[in-house]
Amino acid sequence: MASTPALPLDPTALRADFPILATRVHGDRPLVYFDNAATTQRPRQVIQALVDAYEQHYANVHRGIHWLSEQSTDLYEEARESVRRFIGARQRHEVIFTTGATASINLVARTWGDQHLRRGDEILLSEMEHHSNIVPWQQLAERTGCTVRFLPVTDDGQLVLAALDQLLTERTRLVAVTAVSNVLGTVNPIREIVARAHAVGALALVDAAQSVPHAATHVVDDDADFVAFSGHKMLGPSGVGVLYGREQLLDAMPPFLGGGSMIRRVTLDGFEPGELPAKFEAGTPPIVPALGLSAAIAYLEQIGMERIGSYESALTGYAHEVLARVDGLRLLGPPPAHKAGIVSFVIQGIHAHDVAQLVDQDGVAIRAGHHCAMPLHKRLGIAASNRASFYFYNTRDEVDRLCAALQRAQRVFRRRGDRPSAFKG
Ligand code: PMP
């Protein structure tokens, strides 16, 4: 196969930590798991942390005076500290545990958005956003009368930064963009966009669901006001995510959900909200998932985010080379130098769902559809695409297997002749 730079990370050794990667599917085919942008798998160390939490440390947090509750609370707050360190935040209470990136973005829309936005105000998104970073703002626009605008995307899936000159005005109150496209893998120039937003007095929210798991994150250097991401896309359990917010902003925002823990005092006449971060963590929080996320961070830190990033970028380069040889396959998005480990494509004459179903027969798990980014697919003039998304445990050999499975899918389709696809659209 074609030459690519030496890979300093050894995926074979790391794979041994992931029991699920040894799964065989459809008889005896080794599973090739290429759906990491949807959710990653977990190493034994994370699974063990969850078991340990339930077997040894579990009680509700911030409530009991008893020993177990104190232990559980300490571990939960240590998990917050490990997130703080991992993303380079200044204060531990700037890290709010949510249930995921979607919940984090909705929290900002429902609190800061409802508090500040009015008719005439504008929010700037991009055409490549995940629905989680579109719909909450459209809902906000319905509630407040504000306007949602979109930064356009080029044919090869990069943001048209020149359009910022027209789109950013004194009416812009918030710019909310993804750091990495979940469809195309495009890595966006977040620092530049945040700086441009700030220059017109707008705030900046970064949807970091696809960047935090794959590259070192420095929220202070990036200067973002809000950053949202999910634990399950970075080896952690589902059910926990993070909203990072600048202290002064979070302090000034009203609470989102009401209930236990988020108050200082409640009377029959009303309530007084508590301090950060409790103010935004009403009810029993995702205690054990947060401990799992902390174990995931420890695992990632042990490998090193730079190593992960460079390994994935070499693998992506390799995937581009190999997939480009598949007849009728069109790669979407920018060249590998501008993207993270996500490779999306369409194959002429075969619907994305048929492609995914056929390669699944060979044990290869890829995604098909619009990947929660319908406006981006419309912009690219396609109804659906296939997506192979990598993590550090994926290998070149697996990329070769995807390639062979795609070629087999094409042969199957040719044999079927003009029999109609199971999926139209
Ligand atoms: N933003 C992006 C860019 C994503 O890829 C995803 C998950 N696919 C989300 C937001 C939403 O994450 P979650 O479903 O974990 O809330």
Report pLDDT for 2: 44
For 76-120, the pLDDT digits (tens) are 999 999 999 999 999 999 999 999 999 999 999 999 999 999 999
Distance 71 CA to ligand 1 centre (A): 32
Residues 6+ positions from 279 with CB-CB distance below 8 Å: 250, 255, 262, 273
Q: Nearest Cα to 174, choosing from 208, 143, 151?
A: 151
Q: What percent of the chain is modeled with pLDDT above 70?
A: 96
Q: What percent of the chain is modeled with pLDDT above 90?
A: 94
Whether ligand 1 lies within 6 angstroms of the CB of 209 is answered as: yes
Burial of 77 (0-12, 13-18, 19+ CB in 10 A): middle
Spot the catalytic one: 135, 372, 382, 383: 372
Residues 6+ positions from 260 with CB-CB distance below 8 Å: 63, 282, 283, 284
Q: What is the mean pLDDT of residues 70-78?
A: 97
Report pLDDT for 296: 98
For 142-173, the pLDDT digits (tens) are 999 999 999 999 999 999 999 999 999 999 99
Distance 419 CA to ligand 1 centre (A): 36
Q: What is the mean pLDDT of residues 285-294?
A: 98
Domain locations in the chain? 11-30+304-416, 47-301
The angle at the Cα of 140, spanning 379 to 89, to the nearest 5 degrees, equals: 90
Residues 6+ positions from 146 with CB-CB distance below 8 Å: 117, 118, 119, 120, 121, 122, 123, 140, 173
What tokens appear for 165 in the block? 């000159």
HSE-CB for 287 with a 13 A CA cutoff: 20
Whether ligand 1 lies within 6 angstroms of the CB of 331 is answered as: no
Are 11-30+304-416 and 47-301 in the same CATH fold?
A: no
- Nearest-atom number in ligand 1 for the CA of 101 is 16
Report pLDDT for 63: 77
Report pLDDT for 62: 86
Report pLDDT for 183: 98
Q: Are 235 and 308 in contact (CB under 8 A)?
A: no
For 208-238, the pLDDT digits (tens) are 999 999 999 999 999 999 999 999 999 999 9
Whether ligand 1 lies within 6 angstroms of the CB of 207 is answered as: yes
- Nearest-atom number in ligand 1 for the CA of 99 is 16
Whether ligand 1 lies within 6 angstroms of the CB of 104 is answered as: no
Q: Is the pLDDT of residue 425 over 70?
A: no
CA–centroid distance for 125 within its chain: 16
Q: Whose CA is nearest to atom 6 of ligand 1?
A: 209
* Arithmetic mean of pLDDT over the chain: 95
Report pLDDT for 413: 86
Q: Is the pLDDT of residue 421 over 90?
A: no
For 383-416, the pLDDT digits (tens) are 999 999 999 999 999 999 999 999 999 999 888 7
Q: Nearest Cα to 174, choosing from 196, 152, 155, 153?
A: 196
Q: Are 104 and 83 in contact (CB under 8 A)?
A: no
Q: What is the mean pLDDT of residues 118-128?
A: 98
Report pLDDT for 419: 52
Q: Rounded to two decimals, what is the model's pTM?
A: 0.96
pLDDT confidence band for 6 (50 / 70 / 90): very low
Report pLDDT for 311: 96
Ligand 1: residue of 98, 372, 387 to mutate (most ligand atoms within 8 A of CB) is: 372
Tally Cβ neighbours within 10 Å of residue 336.
21
Whether ligand 1 lies within 6 angstroms of the CB of 182 is answered as: yes
Q: Whose CA is nearest to atom 5 of ligand 1?
A: 182
pLDDT confidence band for 5 (50 / 70 / 90): very low
Distance 358 CA to ligand 1 centre (A): 26
**Distance between CA atoms of residues 149 and 113, nearest Å:** 15
Whether ligand 1 lies within 6 angstroms of the CB of 210 is answered as: yes
Distance 406 CA to ligand 1 centre (A): 27
Q: Are strands 364-365 and 270-273 parallel, antiparallel or unpaired?
A: unpaired
Q: Is the pLDDT of residue 292 over 70?
A: yes
Q: What is the mean pLDDT of residues 182-195?
A: 98
403 has catalytic annotation: no
Rg (alpha carbons) of the chain, rounded to whole number: 22
Q: In what order do the strands lie in the sheet with 329-331?
A: 329-331, 342-347, 385-389, 367-369
Q: Are 312 and 214 in contact (CB under 8 A)?
A: yes
Report pLDDT for 417: 67
Distance 240 CA to ligand 1 centre (A): 12
Q: What is the mean pLDDT of residues 260-287?
A: 97
Whether CATH 3.90.1150.10 fits 11-30+304-416: yes
DSSP 343: E
Tell me the CATH class for 47-301: alpha beta
For 14-68, the pLDDT digits (tens) are 999 999 999 999 999 999 999 999 999 999 999 999 999 999 999 999 877 899 9
**Distance between CA atoms of residues 40 and 29, nearest Å:** 20
